[in-house]
Structure formats: C-alpha cells, structure tokens
Amino acid sequence: MKKLTEHISRHNFWWFLWHSGFLALATSFIDVDTVMPSVITESGGGPFHIGLLVSIMLGGSSVSQLLFASYLHKKSYKKTFLLMGINLRVLSLFGLAAFFFLLKGLLGTGEVWFILALVSVFSFSGAFANISYIDIMGKSILKRQRKSFLSLKQVVFSIGILISAFAAFCILSLSGDATGYGVLFLLAATFLLTATLGFWRLREVEGRVLPIKGSLDFVKFIVREIQSKTKLRNYLLIISSLGNILGIMAFMVLYTRMNSPTQDIQVGSMLLIKVIGAVITGLALYYFSRKFKYGKLLYIAVVMALFLPLLALIFSKSPILFMSVFFVGGVLITIYIVSMGGILLEISTKKDRSLYAGAAGAGSIIPAIFSMVGGWVILNFGFNVFFIVFAMVVTSSLFFINKLNCRK
C-alpha cells in the first residue's frame, strides 16, 4: 500500500486503540512509578538501585532510540520491527513472572540485579519498537484525525490502567510478596501479548526514506537537524529539563519507604490514586481536544512539577494526605505525555518522523543521568537537597517552552 486513504486511516485508528486498551491493562501491573520501585526495594535495593531502575526504564531506553533509529530509518516498512520489539517485551514479562514463582529467595543478593537485567530487556526492546510505532502511527492516520486520536487514545489508556490498577490493588492486598508480584507480571505479559494483535492487523503504508547511508552519516544528519531546526532543538531541551518529571514518582515511593515502612496494600493505593488522576486528566484533555494548546499544557506541567515536592514535604507525616502526591503525579505525567507526543508529530514529517523519534533519545540523556545522580544525592545528602535540584532543573524548561512557541 502506497497511499493513505480515509478507509485505511479509520481501520488503523481503531486497531491502534485496540493496542492502547490492552497495553493499558498491562501497564499498571508493571508501573514504573509504584510497582517496580516496590519490587526493587522488596528485593534488597536502595536509592542507587531505584535511580538505576528509573534510568533504564525512562532515560536509558530513550537514549537507545538513537542507535535503533540509525538502522530503522532506512526501512520503508517497519511493521516487522514493531512486532519484534513488542514480542521481546512480552518474553521479558513472562521471565519476571517465572522469577517470582520459581526463583524468588534462591538468588540472594543477586535478585535485584536479575530483576534489573529483565527490566533492561523490557525497556530497550520497547525503545526499539517505539521508533517503528511513531513512524507507522504518523503515516497511518490522517493529520486531521491525530489530535482526536491522541486524546481518545489517552482516554482508552486511562480507563484501562484504572481497571488494572484496581486489580493490582486487590492482588497485592490478598497475596504475599512473591505470589502477588508474580501474578502481576503474568497478567501483564498476557495482556501485552493480546495487545500485539492490534499491530498484526495494521495496514501499513509505504514510508519515505532519507538518503542516509551509514551510522556516521546518521549522526551528522541528527547534529545538522538539531542545529538548523529551532523547534527540534527546543523540543530536545524540554525533554532534558521537564522530562525529569517522568522519574520523580519512583523517588516518591522511595521517600515513603525511607520515612515509614510501607505495606503492599499501600503500594496498591499509590498506584490506584495515581491512575485516577491520569484518568480524570485524560478525559478532560479529550473533551477539550479542539481547544487546548500543547505549549500551554507544558506551562501547567511545570507549575505542577514544582508543587509536587512541596506536597511531599508538607504531608510527609500523614499517610492519607500524602496520597495526594500520587494523584497530582498522575495528572502531571498525563499532561506531559500527551503534550510531547503531539508536539513531536507536529514538528516532524512523514519523511523524518522516525529520525526525530530517535533524536528525541538525545534529549533523554540528561534525565537518565539525573536519575542516577538523584539516587546518589538522596543517599548522601537527603531528599531536601534532591528536591531543590529537581526544582531548579524543571524551572529551566520554561525558557525552552517559550522558545518552542507551539501554535497547536
């Protein structure tokens, strides 16, 4: 297929939503903000391991997109590579489930490293798939339908993670540590496997390939694009600064662990409340999808990000009130993801979209480093210093948001 038609666009629209729905059902079971940090701490991990977890799942996987994009941009059709990446993710989740059912307690101090190894497979294969996903989505849905699709996708995703968050809450409340986490990862693998049907059913149209021969030419091209395209450059700088919010909630879980012992039911509560915030925000963004502008949403995200550490400090002695931190976190992360996804589609074209998706990994270098350094700062200087550094980095994003001057 070489031309995108109205019929093909509608067909792909609904199969992308199929994938989003079942991915959402899997997402809460492997939530990077609550479940995974709890898994690491339960296996003997500390601030350094939490920082490494966030670095792998958020920053490192995005940075690896640079490498993957240098190969994938040469392909006019990327559906095969999309399926390869998503199926590797499924296998890694089955591996995590097998660990908690069969190997928990047998590896001693090596448990946390075994978990991080499987998390690495999950994250990097997801980064590999994401390059193809963005390219296929951009060329498979008509431009006039994109904003409605992104907003509706967020609604479907939010409802799905609300269902799975409630399920995770019940599972963690009724099961022991190893059994509960094992069930979560088994369900996540099953739902993600079901989600892949949406990709099998996609009707991919032919993409444009830029005349870039090797990895060196690719790097040179990316550097030239960053130097010459002001919007791309500011987009990457926003990721480098404001993008650090994606890892802050994992540190909030660590904050509760270090201030007072946390039971599994409380982990489920954190997850459920965060997801409720995400659902409400997703519905609001869908309802106002024709009125909001991505740039203004980013300003709101900055204000909320600065407000988040204050909430944590004020309510640190009250477990019930502290849960508001996770509600605000759900709102904040949803706003950021919707805004940045929409901006990427707007500043790129069919010809260079996969390259821009890879280039976005360059912006994630700082968040990856920040997560690692953040764990070290907490270990040596405490959370107050960490929160101050976080606020300074996030505040710097205001300059780049203003320069981006997003009109949509």
pLDDT of 43-81, one tens digit each?
777 788 888 888 887 766 666 666 676 666 666 677 888
In this structure, is residue 46 part of a structural domain?
yes
pTM for the full predicted model? 0.74
Which pLDDT does position 53 carry in this prediction? 85
CATH number for the domain harbouring residue 397: 1.20.1250.20
Does some domain include residue 1?
no
Tell me the average pLDDT across 136-156. 71
Q: Which residue has the tokens 């997402």?
A: 27
407 vs 236, residue with greater confidence: 236
Q: Which range scores top for mean pLDDT: 14-18, 49-53, 254-258, 389-393?
A: 389-393
Question: Of 54-58, 65-69, 244-248, 385-389, which one has max mean pLDDT?
Answer: 385-389
Distance from C-alpha of 23 to C-alpha of 62, rounded to nearest angstrom: 19
Which pLDDT score is estimated for 228?
Answer: 78
Model pLDDT for residues 25-42, shown as the tens digit of each residue: 888 888 877 888 888 887
Q: Answer whether residue 346 is part of any domain.
A: yes
Q: Is residue 184 part of a domain?
A: yes
pLDDT at 243: 85
79-83, 136-140, 341-345: the lowest-pLDDT one: 136-140
pLDDT averaged over every residue in the chain:
79
Calculate the CA dihedral of residues 38, 180, 165, 12 and round it to 10 degrees: 100
261 assigned to some structural domain: yes
The structural domain count of the chain equals 1
Domain membership flag for residue 375:
yes
- DSSP of 9-45, one letter per residue? HHHHHHHHHHHHHHHHHHHGGG-TTTHHHHHHHHTT-
Distances (CA, A) of 131 to 40, 63, 353, 372, 397: 28, 12, 9, 25, 25
Asked if the model's pLDDT at residue 192 lies above 60, the reply is: yes
In a domain, 348, yes or no: yes
Instruction: Quote the pLDDT of residue 406.
Output: 60
pLDDT one-digit tens code per residue, 255-312: 877 776 544 447 778 888 888 888 888 778 877 766 677 778 889 999 999 999 999 8
Residue 125's alpha-carbon distances to 85, 120, 188, in angstroms, are 5, 8, 16
Residue-level pLDDT at 93: 92
Within a domain: 388: yes
pLDDT bin (cut points 50, 70, 90) of residue 385 is: very high
- 323: which DSSP letter? T
**C-alpha torsion 63→400→296→374, nearest 10:** 50
**Model confidence at 94: pLDDT above 90:** yes
For residue 306, the enclosing domain spans: 6-404
Q: Does residue 1 register a pLDDT over 60? A: no
pLDDT confidence of residue 199: 81
